[in-house]
C-alpha cells in the first residue's frame, strides 16, 4: 500500500500511519479491506441520522402540540393513553436511530472527523497566509549588524589573537 499524500510504500496493508509523513491511513486501509462494509456502515449512519431527526420532530409535535390539545382533557384517561403511546412510539423509533448510529460507528469517528475539519481549516489558513504576505517586502539593509561573532571558530580566533599579546607583555 502507498501513502496517498507522499507516495511512500508502507510495510504492510494494516499500518495505521504513514512511516514517512505520519498521515493517518485508517481510511485507506478500511477502503482496501472492505469497501462494501463501509458502504453499509455509511447507510446505517444516514438511516440513524434520519431516524433521530424524525424522533426529534415527532417528540416536539407530540409533546407540545398534542399535549397542549389534550391538556384540558386529561381527566379522560383515553387522551392520556393516546398521548403516552405516541410519545413512547417516537422514543422507540429514536432508539432504533440511535442504535443504527452506534452500530455504524458514528460516535467513534466523530472525534476523527472534527480533527480532519480542523486540519482542513489550518491548511486553508496556511494557503491564504502566503498570498497575503506577497505584498510585503523584506529589506535587509536597514538592519544594524551586531558585533557578535557569526560562528564558534570566529570567537576562538579572536581569543587566540588576544592571548599572544598578553604573553608578549608579560615577557620583558
Q: Quick check: 105 pLDDT over 80?
A: no
d(CA 5, CA 7): 6
Predicted TM-score (pTM) of the model is: 0.39
Q: Report residue 141's pLDDT band, with 50, 70 and 90 as the boundaries.
A: low
Q: Quick check: 143 pLDDT over 60?
A: no
Segment 3-18 mean pLDDT? 74
CB 32 within 8 A of CB 1: yes
**Which segment of 72-76, 124-128, 164-168 scores lowest on mean pLDDT?**
164-168
d(CA 163, CA 99): 83
d(CA 42, CA 103): 10
Q: Report residue 169's pLDDT band, with 50, 70 and 90 as the boundaries.
A: low
Q: Quick check: 81 pLDDT over 80?
A: yes
Burial 25-61 (b: 16+ CB within 10 A, else e): beebbeeeeeeeeeeebeebbebbeebbeebeebbee
Segment 57-81 mean pLDDT? 77
d(CA 138, CA 160): 37
d(CA 5, CA 28): 11
Query: CA 154, 156, 160 angle in degrees (round to 5)?
Result: 115
Count of all residues that appear for the chain in the document: 172
Cell 426529534: give the residue: 56
Segment 141-159 mean pLDDT? 62
- At 171 the pLDDT is 52
Amino acid at each position: 500500500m502507498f501513502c496517498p499524500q507522499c507516495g511512500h510504500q508502507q510495510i504492510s496493508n494494516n499500518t495505521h500511519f504513514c512511516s514517512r509523513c505520519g498521515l493517518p491511513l485508517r481510511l485507506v486501509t478500511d477502503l482496501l479491506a472492505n469497501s462494501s462494509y463501509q458502504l453499509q456502515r455509511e447507510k446505517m449512519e444516514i438511516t440513524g441520522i434520519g431516524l433521530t431527526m424524525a424522533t426529534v420532530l415527532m417528540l416536539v409535535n407530540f409533546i407540545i402540540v398534542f399535549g397542549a390539545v389534550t391538556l384540558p382533557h386529561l381527566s379522560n384517561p383515553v387522551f392520556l393513553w393516546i398521548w403516552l403511546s405516541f410519545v413512547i412510539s417516537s422514543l422507540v423509533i429514536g432508539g432504533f436511530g440511535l442504535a443504527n448510529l452506534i452500530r455504524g460507528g458514528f460516535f467513534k469517528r466523530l472525534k476523527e472527523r472534527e480533527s480532519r475539519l480542523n486540519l482542513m481549516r489550518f491548511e486553508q489558513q496556511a494557503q491564504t497566509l502566503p498570498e497575503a504576505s506577497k505584498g510585503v517586502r523584506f529589506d535587509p539593509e536597514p538592519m544594524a549588524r551586531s558585533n557578535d561573532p557569526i560562528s564558534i571558530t570566529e570567537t576562538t580566533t579572536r581569543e587566540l589573537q588576544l592571548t599572544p599579546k598578553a604573553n608578549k607583555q608579560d615577557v620583558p
